[in-house]
Amino acid sequence: MLLGAPVVLGAIWLGGWWLFALGLAGTLVGLHEFYAMARPLRPLVLAGYGGAVAMLVGTELGGVEWMVGGFLATIVLAFLLYLVASTRAPATAAVSSTLLGVAWIGFGLGFLLLVRDLPEHGRLVTFAVVIAVWVGDTVAYLIGRAVCRHKF
pTM over 0.75: yes
Mean pLDDT over the full length of the chain: 93
For residue 1, the model assigns a pLDDT of 61
* CA quadruple 13, 17, 18, 20: dihedral sign: positive
Instruction: Please check whether residues 66 and 50 belong to one and the same domain.
Output: yes
pLDDT tens column, 1-30: 678 889 999 999 999 999 999 999 999 999
Instruction: Please check whether residues 82 and 123 belong to one and the same domain.
Output: no
In a domain, 11, yes or no: no
Domain span at residue 88? 16-116
Please give the Cα distance from 71 to 28 (Å, whole number).
Answer: 15
Angle at 26 between CA 141 and CA 38, to 5 degrees: 75
Q: Worst-scoring range by mean pLDDT, 11-25, 70-84, 103-117, 138-152?
A: 138-152
Instruction: Please check whether residues 84 and 103 belong to one and the same domain.
Output: yes
Residue 149 has pLDDT above 80, yes or no: no
Structure-derived torsion over alpha carbons of residues 20, 63, 68, 27, reported in degrees to the nearest 10 = 10
For residue 152, the model assigns a pLDDT of 59
Instruction: Please check whether residues 82 and 43 belong to one and the same domain.
Output: yes
Instruction: Please check whether residues 132 and 57 belong to one and the same domain.
Output: no
Instruction: Please check whether residues 85 and 147 belong to one and the same domain.
Output: no
Q: Which amino acid is at 53?
A: V
Q: Read off the pLDDT of each residue in 114-123 and give the average, rounded to a whole number.
A: 94
**Quick one: pLDDT band at residue 89, thresholds 50, 70, 90?**
confident
Residue 77 has pLDDT above 90, yes or no: yes
For residue 71, the model assigns a pLDDT of 97
In a domain, 10, yes or no: no
Please give the Cα distance from 22 to 62 (Å, whole number).
Answer: 18
* CA quadruple 57, 58, 61, 63: dihedral sign: negative
Alpha helix positions (H), the chain? 5-14, 16-37, 45-62, 64-84, 91-101, 108-116, 122-147
pLDDT tens column, 119-147: 999 999 999 999 999 999 999 989 988 88
Instruction: Please check whether residues 46 and 83 belong to one and the same domain.
Output: yes
Instruction: Please check whether residues 103 and 125 belong to one and the same domain.
Output: no
Domain count, the chain: 2
List the one residue out of 27, 29, 99, 84 whose CA is nearest residue 60: 27
Instruction: Please check whether residues 52 and 126 belong to one and the same domain.
Output: no
Residue 43 has pLDDT above 90, yes or no: yes
Instruction: Please check whether residues 34 and 105 belong to one and the same domain.
Output: yes
